[in-house]
Amino acid sequence: MKSKWKLLLIIPVVAIIALGVYRAGAKITADKDKLKLAGENNVQTVLVKEATKEKMENFIQYTGTLEAVNEASISAKVAGRVSRVAVDNGDSVAAGHGLVYLENTEYQNALNTCRAAQQKAQAGLVTARSNYNRFKELHSQGAVSDKDFEDISTALTVAEADVSSATAAVSNAEESLRNSTIASPIGGVVANRNVNVGQVLSPGVQLMTVADISSVYVVVNVEQEKISQVRPGMQAAVSMDGYPGKTFNGVVNIINPIASKSARVFETKIKISNKDRLLKPGMFAKVEIKTSGEKEVVAVPRDALTDKQGLYFVFLAGDGKAERHQVEIGQIIGQLVEIKSGLNPGQKIIVTNVNKLKDQDSIRIK
């Protein structure tokens, strides 16, 4: 009887233990399946290409800033109150176009006064010259003393000087009246306007600029070790972030023959035709100056590159792993990038998802 009860007690215990073992085994199997699935999900599917040898034209690359080929600073030459401003920023003007007009009543009155004084001086000169001619004849006949003739001669000299002085005053008054209209010395586009009606101007204060931007310069600084490669007339390709995908053709125009004392670089200007006025002074530009000949280089697609803190990397397709390698880049031509060091032709590089990869990530090649 006791054996029967013991047996009845043992059977449930064994069942519970068996159930626990089963559940533990099932959990282990499930965990393994999850780990396997997670591992499969962490595998990156990538596209791979080989690093190739390419022929590239020799370029040297710079960044620079656009400036107008010709620019005039506009300021007043005479003092006065502004009665009219005829232009605003962005307006096109021709040489001689009136920009700012000053109240000119005082200048007109001054001119009238000077002209009246000139007429009076001219009348005095006529009288002095007549007296001189008459006294000269009398003096030759002995009818006039030397002293009287000398006085008449002096009066003629003074009258001539008065006319010269009055004529100069008229000329100055005419110039002041002309300068009460402030005109542009060149054709171009108005910029940096800083003047309004009612403002009292002093001579020399800048009011605006007029820039001729039918052509523009890109100003770059060429290092002394490269200046021998750059000559006037060389072709240059210019691009700007403001016009993505568009390239402007330029020509090396001016090279400063003296290097800057601080940086030891030579200021170089590349001229670009700008008939459509797309290019604006002050814009940032990237320049590639074409030098002579071609070179054979190792190249990869731009999509293969990733960068970090100014350093560049590619991912090689290893044995199921992505292997990050640092490289030194050179020229960027279209969609290809020159690799100066860190990569050999034929090495397989990953060209997709490179910004999502880490060194030694698992990969699957398409």
> For residue range 8-32, what is the model confidence (pLDDT) as tens digits?
555 554 445 544 545 655 555 545 5
CATH H superfamily, domain 104-179: Helix hairpin bin (1.10.287.470)
Query: What's the pLDDT at 314?
Result: 94
Q: What pLDDT does 55 receive? A: 83
Q: Where are the domains of the chain?
A: 44-55+296-365, 62-67+209-293, 104-179
pLDDT at 38: 44
Beta bridge partners of 265: 223
pLDDT recorded at residue 20: 54
Return d(Cα 44, Cα 322) in angstroms, integer: 9
- Under 8 Å CB-to-CB from 90, ≥6 apart: which residues? 189, 190, 191
CATH code that applies to domain 62-67+209-293: 2.40.30.170
Torsion angle of C-alpha atoms 58, 62, 66, 71, degrees rounded to 10: -90
Q: Kindly give the parts of the chain with pLDDT less than 70.
A: 1-41
Eight-state DSSP code of residue 362: B
Question: Do the strands 363-365 and 322-333 form a parallel or antiparallel pair, or are they unpaired?
Answer: unpaired
Per CATH, 62-67+209-293 and 104-179 having the same topology is answered: no
- Residues 5 and 7: their CA atoms lie apart, in Å, by 5
Tell me which CATH code domain 44-55+296-365 carries: 2.40.420.20
* The predicted structure's pLDDT at residue 9: 52
**Phi-psi label, residue 259: left if phi above 0, alpha if psi -120 to 50, beta otherwise:** beta
Paired tokens of 33: 């399946």
The amino acid at 94:
A
pLDDT score recorded for residue 209: 97
Please give the pLDDT value at position 21.
46
Q: How many other C-beta atoms can be found within 10 angstroms of the C-beta atom of residue 87? A: 20
pLDDT computed for residue 37 by the predictor: 45
